[in-house]
A and B are shown apart, each in its own frame.
Chain A
Amino acid sequence: MVNQSNKVLNKNITKLVNQTYQYGFSTSIEKDIIQKGLNENTIRLISQKKKEPKFLLEFRLKAFKKWKQMAEPEWPYLKFPQIDYQDIIYYSAPKAQKKLKDLNEVDPELLQTFEKLGISLTEQKRLANVAIDAVFDSVSIATTFQDELSKYGIIFSSISEAVNDYSELIQKYLGSVVPIGDNYFSALNSAVFTDGSFCYIPQDTICPLDLSTYFRINDQKSGQFERTLIIAEKNSQVNYLEGCTAPQYDTNQLHAAVVELVALENANIKYSTVQNWYSGNEVGKGGVYNFVTKRGLCVGSNSKISWTQVETGSSITWKYPSCLLVGDDTQGEFYSVALTNNYQQADTGTKMIHIGKNSRSRIISKGISAGKSKNTYRGLVSVTNKALGARNYSQCDSLLIGNLSNANTFPFISVQNSTTKIEHEASTSKIGEEQIFYFLQRGICLEKAVELMISGFCREIFTKLPLEFAAEADKLLTLKLEGSVG
């Protein structure tokens, strides 16, 4: 009896979750491109095009050397065809490179693209809540609110500009949290990164706006190698929002970003992401390969770093936003929703490394797997012998939709002192056919039913997102799971 009912309802759910990607379009804009392939010359050319100081070229070359000696990690629970790193364009920039003070100077077609994505900069500017550093392919084309932020001494610029304008800070902190040779993809990023954001919050300053970046992959073969660096000085606070969408393409696109956060004494950094890169079509063709290294360093005592992520896109996700809790009484948090559908694969989680005394961390991970996707939580909680009185609470919940999806949890816990308290909870549940029928019988349609159950499952995470982002995240999950029924 159950089998037949499964068949029917699963068909409906499958139909529902297989909605096509709405942001699949590309903009034709004149581009400045370096030929595909990766060697020392490519790197020198990138550095030259970007008029970078010498230390950065050396940084890149060192990273490239390191990268050549490394191999792709094999431990993730991911399967994908061999990536040909010589078949990738490592630099592509829209040609209008002159400094733009006003949005009116921006290529109208580009602005249209943003509008299609639902983030009209003009509108954003008027609403004045969020400063946006929009990254289009590799080069920042519009940075707003810089003037206002500079009144507080806050620096929010593209990392390319910062490299020249604030080279001391960059030299001091770049690679300090994620070392060049940390992993294969961070080495690659360090060698070829083209742009990203740089934020600096001075001492005793609470950033008056949520800082936001909208990343976007636009060129068919251009890999994206973003580099973000955020420094929060003593007693400062900042919220940073990152959102991604990418156009629909048939060939796979590589994305290897590095994000480094540094929190000094009493500083508080909250980093939120909503990720919706193109995830491939319903038979698993295409989609972005997303290999991201995100790490925060709570170096000063009593500092706090909080990661919140809503991951819905990419065909491959490899991402572990982590916290190094070095200072005493530091706090690390990781709140995550990862949704996979069709043939998407996600291996994501966090690392909490406790070094400081009484350091605390909290991990709440919610994985939703639909279609034939694989969704893996992988986490490390490591407490060193010095981290006396450390505490960790972890909760990993998985929700399965349909009979062909897959959820895994790999929590690693290592504790080297006896005064530490660790808690770990995990659950796996399934949106059942009888649950759906219950909704339907009460007159609630399938879409609403799934939406309600998913948002109930994710509520704990959504409440951690900034308000405007929470609405967006809810919309995004609905979009991913809502569809053609009824």
Chain B
Amino acid sequence: MTLNSPLLEIKNLQVSIDDNEILKKLNLRINKGEIHAIMGPNGSGKSTFSKVLAGHPAYSVLNGDILFKGSSILDLDPEERSHLGIFLAFQYPIEIPGVSNEDFLRLAYNSKQKFYNKPELDPIEFLTIINEKLNFVNMSPLFLSRNVNEGFSGGEKKRNEILQMILLDSELSILDETDSGLDIDALKIISNGINKFMNPEKSIILITHYQRLLDYIKPDYVHVMQAGKIIKTGSAELAKELESKGYEWLKV
């Protein structure tokens, strides 16, 4: 990666699923240290966009390119993209019965360690690391022994996503409606965790419907997505304007 190239660059991205074109010539540049919010009405392609970045196999990229740290990642498997530093906090975190959160987190952590030829941690070594990260999101160590997301409340699931983001320390994190379904206390905890995590070496994409998340996490840019492309980009002020005027206001 050259010094000037952005962390993520999306060029004319066209994506379809089952022959329906969802993303239509999408363009976006994200530099290190930036927080971008993507807003937009339901069905505008926001979740598709996040899954395509993570390499979900259901979507076909018809045209365009996704450059991460200067090179195309279109041919990379989801796990490779993850190792390279792309993290997706799911809108609906998946329950995995029979697999403890602790095992899952350790395996995820060790997979990345292994990828970078770093030593893998045994369960005891790992416990020291994960206990420290739990504090970031006010989670009790009891979460570790429970099965991944099984029986978690909506807020617990979202906190678990942020815990994983912090643990894997990815450079680019895409948070897909992480704020939805959260009460105000949980929203504060999560925002707090995200702010502590953020630094000039990292970038975050926040996909959200609501201005209120942006009260806690200050975006550098706000994009409005509609019908598969970004139709307007502005500063944090844009989100406030949307909050009062709705999306209709932007329609041509």
With A1-B58, A5-B58, A437-B56 given, is the CB distance from A443 to B94 under 8 Å?
no
Task: Say whether B164 faces chain A, with CB atoms less than 8 Å apart.
Answer: yes
Measured as residues with beta carbon below 8 angstroms from the partner, the interface class of chain B is 20 to 34
Contact call B115/A443, Cβ cutoff below 8 A: yes
What sequence of 0s and 1s flags, for each residue 92-115 of chain B, a beta carbon within 8 Å of any chain A beta carbon?
A: 011011111001100110011001
- With contacts A4-B17, A459-B98 taken as known, whether A440 is within 8 angstroms of B58 at the C-beta atoms is no
Tell me which residues from 387 to 442 in chain A have a Cβ below 8 Å from any Cβ of chain B. Answer: 429, 432-435, 437-442
B108 and A4 within 8 A (CB): no
Are A443 and B57 touching (Cβ within 8 A)? no
The yes or no answer to B155 lying at the interface (CB within 8 A) is: no
| Cα–Cα distance between A113 and B82 once the two chains are bound (Å) | 43
Q: Kindly list chain B residues whose C-beta atoms are within 8 Å of the C-beta of A438.
A: 90, 93-94, 96
Task: Return chain B residues, CB-CB under 8 Å to A432.
Answer: 94
B97 contact set on A, CB distance < 8 A? 429, 456-457
In the complex, per-residue mask of A439-467: 1 if CB is within 8 Å of any chain B CB, else 0: 11111110010001101110100000000
Interface membership of A71, Cβ < 8 A: no
Kindly list chain B residues whose C-beta atoms are within 8 Å of the C-beta of A459.
98
B99→A442 contact, CB < 8 A:
no
How distant is A427 from chain B, measured CB to nearest CB, in Å?
Answer: 9
Q: Is A127 an interface residue (CB 8 A)?
A: no
Query: Are the C-beta atoms of B56 and A435 separated by less than 8 Å?
Result: no
Instruction: Tell me, yes or no, whether A3 is within 8 Å of chain B by CB.
Output: yes
B168 adjacent to chain A (CB < 8 Å)? yes
Cβ-based interface call for A78 (8 A): no
Pair B111/A453 contact, Cβ less than 8 Å: no
Contact check, B111 vs A448: say whether CB atoms are below 8 A apart.
yes
CB of A56 closer than 8 Å to a CB of B: no
- Residue among A432, A441, A453, A455 with most chain B CB within 10 A: A441
Q: How far is the CA of A441 from the CA of B79 in the complex (A)?
A: 6
A38 within 8 Å of B by Cβ? no
> CB within 8 A of A443: which of B83, B99, B100?
B83
Question: Shortest CB–CB separation between residue A455 and chain B, in angstroms?
Answer: 8
**Size class of the contact patch on chain A:** 20 to 34
Would A4 and B103 be within 8 Å (CB), given that A437-B57, A440-B82 are in contact?
no
Q: Is the CB of A443 within 8 A of B17?
A: no
Residue interface mask B47-62, A partner, CB < 8 A = 1: 0000000111110000
> Within the assembled complex, what's the spacing in Å between the Cα atoms of A418 and B55?
59
Q: Say how far A43's CB is from chain B's closest CB, in angstroms.
A: 49
Asked if B185 is at the interface of the complex by the 8 Å CB criterion, the answer is no
Please state if A442 and B90 are interface contacts (CB–CB under 8 Å): no
Q: Does B78 contact A (CB under 8 A)?
A: yes
In the complex, whether B187 has a CB less than 8 A from a CB of chain A is: no
Closest B residue by C-beta to A459: B98
From residue A263, how far is it (CB to closest CB) to chain B in Å? 32
Known A-B contacts A1-B17, A452-B103, A452-B104; A444 and B111 likewise in contact (beta carbons under 8 Å) = yes
Interface: B201 (CB within 8 A): no
B98/A442 in contact, CB under 8 A: no
Instruction: For the A-B complex with A439-B96, A442-B164 known, give 11 more contacts whose Cβ atoms are closer than 8 Å.
Output: A4-B17, A4-B18, A433-B58, A435-B96, A440-B78, A441-B90, A443-B82, A444-B79, A452-B99, A456-B98, A459-B98
The 7 residue pairs across chains A and B that have the minimum distance between CB atoms: A456-B98, A5-B58, A8-B57, A440-B78, A443-B82, A442-B108, A438-B94
Give chain B's interface residues, CB within 8 Å of chain A: 17-18, 54-58, 77-79, 82-83, 87-88, 90, 93-94, 96-100, 103-104, 107-108, 111-112, 115, 147, 164, 168
What are 29 A-B contacts with C-beta separation under 8 Å? A1-B17, A1-B18, A2-B58, A5-B56, A5-B57, A5-B58, A8-B58, A429-B97, A432-B94, A433-B58, A437-B57, A437-B94, A438-B90, A440-B78, A440-B82, A441-B54, A441-B55, A441-B78, A441-B87, A443-B115, A444-B104, A444-B111, A445-B79, A445-B111, A456-B98, A456-B99, A456-B100, A456-B147, A457-B98
